[in-house]
Amino acid sequence: MNVQTDLGSVMTSVAQAKGLPNAHYISDEVFEEEKQAVLFDQWAGIGVGNDVPEIGDARPVEFLGMPLLVVRDRDGEVGVFQNTCRHRGMILVTEPRKIEGAIRCPYHSWCYSLKGALKSTPHVGGPGRNTHDDIKRSELGLVRIRSHVWNDVIFVNVNGNAAPFEEVHANLLARWAEFDVPMVHGGATSSFKLEVETNWKLAVENYCESYHLPWVHPGLNSYSRLEDHYNIEVPGAYSGQGTLVYRQLKGDAGEVFPDFTTHSKQWDEGAEYIAIYPNVLLGLHRDHFYSIVLEPKSLDRTVEHVEIYYSKEGAASEALTPLRDANATLWEGVFVEDVFVVEGMQKGRQGTFFDGGKFSPEMDGPTHNFHHWVASKVDEARRR
C-alpha cells in the first residue's frame, strides 16, 4: 500500500542529491508512513513542562491522532501516558485541569495515581466489592509513553524503540553543555502559536538555513548578514545555522536580560538556531532561549508552539516584563515572516514536474542533512 518513493536520490551527497519527492508532502500514505518511521519511532516533541507547571496539572495532547496525557506528579516529574482507561478504553482527561486526588475515569470510576498506577476499581467484584482475583491492579496501570524532558521540551518516543535520548542527542548536549542551567519561562506573552498551512517538514527545512535571510527577513539582515552565519550539520541528529553577530535587546534605559551563565567568548556575540530532528526548533542566545514544537495536525497543517525562556537570575522579574514582551513581539514578527515561504513551498509541491529540487552545495547543506535523515528513517522502516 505504500507509495514507494525514490529515496536513493535523497541519500547521497548534497551536491548530487535531490530533495524528498513530492509524495512526502502531499500523499496521505507517505504521511502515515512518516508518522511511524519519522515521528513515533524517534524522540518527537509534544509540548513543554511549562504546560503543566504545578503538581497535579494534567494536560491532554493529541499527537497525530494518538491521545496522550501529560501529568506533573507529586515528585514534580513530568510523565506521559496513553490517555485511555485500561477498563473499557474510555478517554480519561479531555481538558487541561488540576488533578486533586487521582485520575478518575468518568465511566466506571477506576482511579489511577499521578504515576499511572491503578489504585481503585469500585464494584469490580460485584456490588460492594472493589476487588476481584482476576483484576490484577499491578498489571493494569496506565500505559506509560517513554518521555524525556530537556530544556523544558517534552520529547516522547511513542513506539518505545529509540535509543535513549541522551545517546541520540549526545552531540547536541555536549555542544550546548555550558547552558545546562535552570531556565525560567518568560510568562504569558512568551508563549504563542502560529498555525500554518504546510507539511511540518517544510517548517524544519526553512528553519535550518540562513540562505533566505536577505529576502525573507530584511530587518534581521540589516545587522546580521549572510556572511555572518555558518552552517551547522550533524548527520543523523540535527542541523541549523549560527550567527556571529547576535546583539542583545536593550530597553529604553539600556537594560538587558541577565545572562544564563558565565559563558565562553563565542557566545558574547554568537547565537545558534538548531532543528533537533524530527520536529523541534531551538534558538540559543547568551540571555534567552526559545523552543518551537511543531505539531503536525495533518499532511498540510502544522501548529508551531513557541515558548521563550530566560535566566533564573532575575530575568523574569517584573521590571523586565516590557523587555520580555518586546522580545516576544520581535520573534513573533520574524516567525510570521517565514509563513508565506513554508506555505508557498507546500503549494509548489503540487507541481507534478517538481523533482525534489536542486540544493546549493554551499547554502542548503543543513536542509539536505534533514532530508537525508528523513529518507534514512523511512528507508530503515521499509526494510524492516
Which of residues 67 and 348 has its CB atom nearest to ligand FES in the complex?
A: 67
By CB under 6 A, tell whether 107 contacts ligand FES: yes
DSSP code per residue over 86-143: TTT--B---S-EE-SS-EE-TTT--EE-TT--EEE-TTTTSTT----TT--GGG-SPP
Give the separation between CA 23 and CA 159, rounded to whole angstroms: 24
Backbone dihedral angles phi then psi of residue 245, each to the nearest 5 degrees: -130, 40
Q: Is 85 near ligand FES (CB under 6 A)? A: yes
Q: Is residue 130 involved in binding ligand FES (CB under 6 A)?
A: no
Give 85 or 145: the residue with its C-beta nearer to ligand FES.
Answer: 85
CA distance 214 to 234: 25
Select 164 or 344, whichever has its Cβ closest to Fe ion. Answer: 344
Site map (CB under 5 A) of Fe ion, residues 90-129, x = contact: ----------------------------------------
Residue (76 or 127) nearer to ligand FES, CB:
127
CA 247 to chain CA centroid, Å, is 26
The CB density around residue 116, as the number of other CB atoms within 10 Å, is 21
- Give the residue among 283, 279, 338, 289 at the shortest CA–CA distance from 310: 289
Q: Does 257 bind ligand FES (CB under 6 A)?
A: no
Which amino acid is it at 283? G
> 13, 53, 88, 171: which one contacts ligand FES (CB under 6 A)?
88
Which residues ranging from 302 to 341 are in contact with Fe ion (CB under 5 A)?
338
Taking CB within 5 to 8 Å according to partner kind, which of Fe ion, ligand FES, none is near residue 338? Fe ion
94 contributes a contact to ligand FES by CB under 6 A: no
Tell whether residue 132 is a contact of ligand FES (CB under 6 A).
no
How many residues interact with ligand FES (rule CB under 6 A)? 9
In one letter, which amino acid is 50? Answer: N
Helix 339-348 / helix 200-208 crossing angle, nearest 10 deg: 120
Is 205 a residue that touches Fe ion (CB under 5 A)? Answer: no
Residues that bind ligand FES (CB under 6 A): 85, 87-88, 90, 105, 107-110
